[in-house]
Structure 1
Amino acid sequence: MKLLTAAQTRQADAATIEQEGISSADLMERAAAAFTDWFCQRLSPAEAGEVLVVCGPGNNGGDGLVAARLLHHGGYRVQVALLPADKHSADFELNRQRLPAAVPVAEWAPAQLPAVAPGTVVVDALFGTGLNRPLTGAAAALVAHLNTSKARIVSIDLPSGLLADAPQPADSPVVQARHTITFELPKLALLLPQNARYVGRWQALPIGLSPQFLAEADTDTYLIDVTLLAGRLPARPTFSHKGTFGHALLLAGSRGKLGAAVLAARSCLHGGVGLLTVQVPAVGYAVLQTAVPEAMCLADAHKHELSELPDLKPYNAVGLGPGIGQDDATRAVLEELLCTAPVPLVLDADALNLLGANRSLLDLLPPDTLLTPHPKEFERLTEPARDDYHRLELLRDFARRHRCYVLLKGAYSCLATPDGQRYFNTTGNPGLATGGTGDVLTGLALALRADKRLSPLDAALLATYAHGRAADLAAVHTGQAGLTAGALPHYIGRALQELTTEEF
């Protein structure tokens, strides 16, 4: 699924109107009907109580007026509050005229803002993607009033005051919604951490925008979903053998951090690797042989740290990082690996911290290496970001400059590619915010990277999605708070099976 700019979204609207021979008011009706259906499925008239629809002077306000009319016809007790304005859009004026007389309408001036009772359902239709500057004056006052009311706010398209394509200025007024209902495709602003307190939970509802325009729209930003992944993971051939799916080498663990090696190894095996060899410090040999009997194990000459690199010829991919620490000997292993590896690499955790502390090593990264940092690890590789948009630019530039894939972990993890593409993930939940889940991702990515049937991009996309999907499957049984990294590997196979393409 593509992510489009606000300008492209307006172009999609215009293309739909032209190609279908409909009016802009017809498309507005379609969008408001989708919103109203969503609303009615979640709250009955009795559960909603009084519904306050707050409308701005443009087409977002027009959406709100249509929604107010449809909710009224559905038996809801609706009243409309209008932001004072000298001018209104044509579709706003049309739908103001169509509003039933039984629906109370009032202008809410800053000096006379009525109290909004806590728990009131407020439909925020003040401003949408057309906004290009922070709110001021009456609009800012109304937003502040709504935010202090403790109302249940649902925003149409975007929370009013939120900029669709640009960093939000500090302290600028933005509606704090519980839900944001956008149309056809999500907006980038909905995916960024700094906007979470405004957006709440979001959902994109289809409204039949032009398939031709969406297919041809030029973008470098996508969502990772089942549609994007269709056909990327082939079914396993009947006459498969261990060598079909690759032999992976995992370099992991140090004294006190052998659990990371166990988690990554288990994940790699559940990710479908044909053969797995794990090299750990000598102190971890018995641990790995006992905890992960399916894996072969190499004991490093050093008792507590990784200090040597084995012969890499047998392997199809190498993973380094989980629990390795930052000893000088381990740094030397990393440098040797970067200089000599003939196969794809997956680097995480302390491998990234070593790179950050020794940035000259970044120039040695082999092409198509996959790095999986969390935001703090990524900052050590680059620089502190001014805001989420700046961080995404740093991410894109880093992947291009070092010809690598970088998966910036978090809610809506973002994968940047060597050719400048960005892919935001749609799976996962807050249960992943616990120790060890990154090690599980490393193991899964290593398994898929060792599979010679998969391209570097496909392996990274599939690992990103399946890791989050495994967490979603696990949380059904454990709850998000009860989700542990150790539970995740058991759901990876199911997550991958959902994506497997069977030939007909």
Structure 2
Amino acid sequence: MKIFTTSQIAEIDKYTIKNEPIADIDLMERASLQIVNWLIYNISNEKPLVVFAGPGNNGGDAMAIARMIADHDYSVKLYLLDFGKALQGSPAINWQRLVEQGKVGLFTISNENDFPVLNGNELVLDGLFGSGLSRQLDGTAEKLVTLINQSGCQIVVIDIPSGLFGEDNSQNDLSKVTRASRTFTFQFPKLSFFFPEHDEILGDWEVLPIGLHPDAINQLQTPYYFLTEDFISEKIIKRRKFSHKGTYGHALLIAGAYGKMGAAILAAKAGLRAGCGLLTCHVPHEGYKIIQTAVPEAMCSIDPSDLMFTEFPDLSMFSAVGVGPGIGQKCNCQRALKSLLLAVPGKLVLDADALNILSENKEWLDLLPENTILTPHPKEFERLVGKTGDSYTQLQEQLAFSAKYKVIVVLKGAHTRISFPDGRVFFNTTGNPGMSTAGSGDVLTGIVLGLLAQEYRAEGAVLIAVYLHGLAGDLAAKKQGEYSLIAGDITDYLGKAFLQLGK
């Protein structure tokens, strides 16, 4: 699904109003009704509601919600932040409707003396500022947000927390932003919702459909997307009746070193579970018995070294190559990785120590074959491109890196993001904190490799792998719980994840 900038969403609103057609006030009613329905089903009408509204459309939404919910016997007070200018358009209409209804306590706030007393038992609805905000909060607005944040109340946000920008918050002071218990955003998530530093600001967030015009959504271009189950399901290639193991590719996994063979085992099992027909593990001599015992389905290629990766087999027999889990960073290992890059494997995924070696030899980045897949965690990415102060800036660095070296970068995290050389970026929507465990990344590398070895192009393989990895983790967490989840559990649930995508 597409992620649009806040200015693009405003364009889609205008297109909908003109071409549905629908009046702006009626579109506001439609959006507000979605939040009202949630309140009715989840919040007792014995709980007092305090609504804060600004003078713009976000405030107009807040007024509409206050009026509708009051019709269901909720006790509601609404405070309008008054900047000394008369309300215009739909907000003015909604204010008049509130006056005529007479069920909501109406107050205006011009300065701190007008602030209400919040006891902590109220539900606060934040409709002060929406996605059109372009500067930090200050003055009375900033102080009001501070009051709300310090109240101890449950805070429900309309569309976007007041003070948060939809995209770039690199120069924003996040201490001046409403901190939500729950955020309801309309039709599309904002780009900033996918960044870790905004997690505590947003709380649990949910996208509410409000019927914006599909033609506008389809026609408007964006480089930002997030993954959905339907999108991924359509990419999975069904198996043919007369296929055989050779049909599904031969993967070469270069992994493991003395004391680190667990990484090779985890990646190998995941690669096989991802459906590749054949998998060969290239391991140091000391790892031979371990890998043959732990993963009997895999074949072995034995390195001359007892301890580490120093050579690689003829690549012509392999449809994809994966390098990195547990290989170490010794000099011999570094030389072997450079030689492998010079051999130009057709499909390649690099992870873990392979990335750390690259960060120490950045001139080798120019050797990466086009559409090589790199799967760094944030620290590994930082070693490759340098430190950034915020996620938006980091995203720009990631996109620039993908474009410069013509590679696919999978930056792992709560919303793992996948950038492509053409400037597109996809955010993942599966996965859970239980996957923050040793070996989880090795499993992802194996899944990517297993898919890459088959008929999938790099783009399809990486998108499916990231979503599938998170989905398997979610299924495992339902049985094991997040605290006890280990990397092997993710592999164990890959089959069920595939089944869910195949429904």
Same fold per superposition (TM over 0.5): yes
What amino acid maps onto 2:42 in structure 1? R
Following superposition, the deviation at residue 229 of structure 1 comes to 2.5
Task: Find the aligned partners of 2:318 and 2:342 in 1 and give their Cα distance.
Answer: 16
CA-to-partner distance for each residue in 1:223-264, whole Å, 9 max, x for gaps?
Answer: 111233342112111112101111101111112211111111
Task: Find the aligned partners of 1:469 and 1:480 in 2 and give their Cα distance.
Answer: 13
Residue 381 (structure 2) pairs with residue 383 (structure 1): no
The 3-state SS of whatever aligns with 1:396 is: helix
The 5 A counterparts of 1:92-131 are 92-99=91-98, 100-108=101-109, 109-131=111-133
CA-to-partner distance for each residue in 1:22-58, whole Å, 9 max, x for gaps?
Answer: 2100000000001111222322324xx1111111111
The 3-state SS of whatever aligns with 1:186 is: coil
Moved more, 252-261 or 436-445: 252-261
CA-to-partner distance for each residue in 1:332-376, whole Å, 9 max, x for gaps?
Answer: 111111110332011000100000011011010011100001111
> 8 Å contact 1:177–1:199 — kept in the other structure?
yes
**What TM-score, normalized to structure 2?**
0.96
Residue 442 (structure 2) pairs with residue 443 (structure 1): no
1:21: which partner in 2?
A: 21
Task: Find the aligned partners of 2:88 and 2:300 in 1 and give their Cα distance.
Answer: 69
1:70 to 40, 63, 68: 68
Residue 216 (structure 2) pairs with residue 213 (structure 1): yes
What amino acid maps onto 1:115 in structure 2? V
Following superposition, the deviation at residue 86 of structure 1 comes to 1.6
1:331: which partner in 2?
A: 334
2:483: which partner in 1?
A: 481
> 8 Å contact 2:136–2:173 — kept in the other structure?
no
> 8 Å contact 1:84–1:138 — kept in the other structure?
no
> 8 Å contact 1:441–1:467 — kept in the other structure?
yes
2:137: which partner in 1?
A: 135
> 8 Å contact 1:248–1:450 — kept in the other structure?
yes
The 3-state SS of whatever aligns with 2:358 is: helix
The 3-state SS of whatever aligns with 1:488 is: helix
Task: Find the aligned partners of 2:487 and 2:442 in 1 and give their Cα distance.
Answer: 8
Task: Find the aligned partners of 2:39 and 2:454 in 1 and give their Cα distance.
Answer: 45
Following superposition, the deviation at residue 196 of structure 1 comes to 1.4
The 5 A counterparts of 1:31-180 are 31-46=31-46, 49-87=47-85, 88-99=87-98, 100-108=101-109, 109-168=111-170, 169-170=172-173, 172-180=175-183
1:413: which partner in 2?
A: 416
What amino acid maps onto 2:408 in structure 1? Y
The 3-state SS of whatever aligns with 1:54 is: strand
Name the count of aligned residue pairs: 498
What amino acid maps onto 1:123 in structure 2? L
The 3-state SS of whatever aligns with 2:287 is: helix
The 3-state SS of whatever aligns with 1:127 is: coil
Task: Find the aligned partners of 2:68 and 2:276 in 1 and give their Cα distance.
Answer: 54
The 5 A counterparts of 1:360-399 are 360-399=363-402
Residue 317 (structure 2) pairs with residue 314 (structure 1): yes
User: How much identity, in percent, do the aligned residues show?
Assistant: 44
What amino acid maps onto 1:478 in structure 2? Q
CA-to-partner distance for each residue in 1:267-296, whole Å, 9 max, x for gaps?
Answer: 111111111111112222111111111111
> 8 Å contact 2:164–2:174 — kept in the other structure?
no
2:467: which partner in 1?
A: 465
> 8 Å contact 2:249–2:454 — kept in the other structure?
yes
Following superposition, the deviation at residue 171 of structure 1 comes to 5.0
What amino acid maps onto 2:59 in structure 1? G
1:5: which partner in 2?
A: 5
Following superposition, the deviation at residue 172 of structure 1 comes to 4.9
1:356 to 346, 359, 381: 359
Task: Find the aligned partners of 1:80 and 1:423 in 2 and give their Cα distance.
Answer: 39
Task: Find the aligned partners of 1:18 and 1:264 in 2 and give their Cα distance.
Answer: 53
1:225: which partner in 2?
A: 228
The 3-state SS of whatever aligns with 2:49 is: strand
Task: Find the aligned partners of 1:247 and 1:76 in 2 and give their Cα distance.
Answer: 64
1:293 to 293, 296, 302: 296
The 5 A counterparts of 1:180-199 are 180-199=183-202
Task: Find the aligned partners of 1:77 and 1:480 in 2 and give their Cα distance.
Answer: 39
CA-to-partner distance for each residue in 1:408-467, whole Å, 9 max, x for gaps?
Answer: 110111101111111111111111111110001000000010012x12111111011111
Task: Find the aligned partners of 1:345 and 1:286 in 2 and give their Cα distance.
Answer: 26
Moved more, 248-257 or 106-115: 106-115
The 3-state SS of whatever aligns with 1:29 is: helix
Moved more, 338-347 or 10-19: 338-347
> 8 Å contact 2:256–2:308 — kept in the other structure?
yes
Task: Find the aligned partners of 1:386 and 1:477 in 2 and give their Cα distance.
Answer: 37
Following superposition, the deviation at residue 321 of structure 1 comes to 0.7
CA-to-partner distance for each residue in 1:56-95, whole Å, 9 max, x for gaps?
Answer: 1111011011111111112322211221222223211111
Task: Find the aligned partners of 2:495 and 2:390 in 1 and give their Cα distance.
Answer: 37
The 3-state SS of whatever aligns with 1:277 is: strand
Task: Find the aligned partners of 1:416 and 1:171 in 2 and give their Cα distance.
Answer: 26
Residue 433 (structure 2) pairs with residue 430 (structure 1): yes
> 8 Å contact 1:182–1:203 — kept in the other structure?
yes
The 3-state SS of whatever aligns with 2:418 is: strand
The 3-state SS of whatever aligns with 2:176 is: coil
Task: Find the aligned partners of 1:195 and 1:354 in 2 and give their Cα distance.
Answer: 32
> 8 Å contact 2:225–2:426 — kept in the other structure?
yes
The 3-state SS of whatever aligns with 1:234 is: coil
**What TM-score, normalized to structure 1?**
0.96
Task: Find the aligned partners of 2:49 and 2:275 in 1 and give their Cα distance.
Answer: 52
Q: CA RMSD in A?
A: 1.4
Following superposition, the deviation at residue 112 of structure 1 comes to 4.0
Following superposition, the deviation at residue 298 of structure 1 comes to 2.3
What amino acid maps onto 2:163 in structure 1? G
What amino acid maps onto 1:332 in structure 2? R
Task: Find the aligned partners of 2:51 and 2:248 in 1 and give their Cα distance.
Answer: 56
> 8 Å contact 1:135–1:172 — kept in the other structure?
no
Residue 242 (structure 2) pairs with residue 244 (structure 1): no
The 3-state SS of whatever aligns with 2:3 is: coil
The 3-state SS of whatever aligns with 1:412 is: coil
> 8 Å contact 2:52–2:124 — kept in the other structure?
yes
Following superposition, the deviation at residue 493 of structure 1 comes to 2.1
> 8 Å contact 1:235–1:500 — kept in the other structure?
no
The 3-state SS of whatever aligns with 2:145 is: helix
Residue 394 (structure 2) pairs with residue 403 (structure 1): no
> 8 Å contact 2:255–2:323 — kept in the other structure?
yes
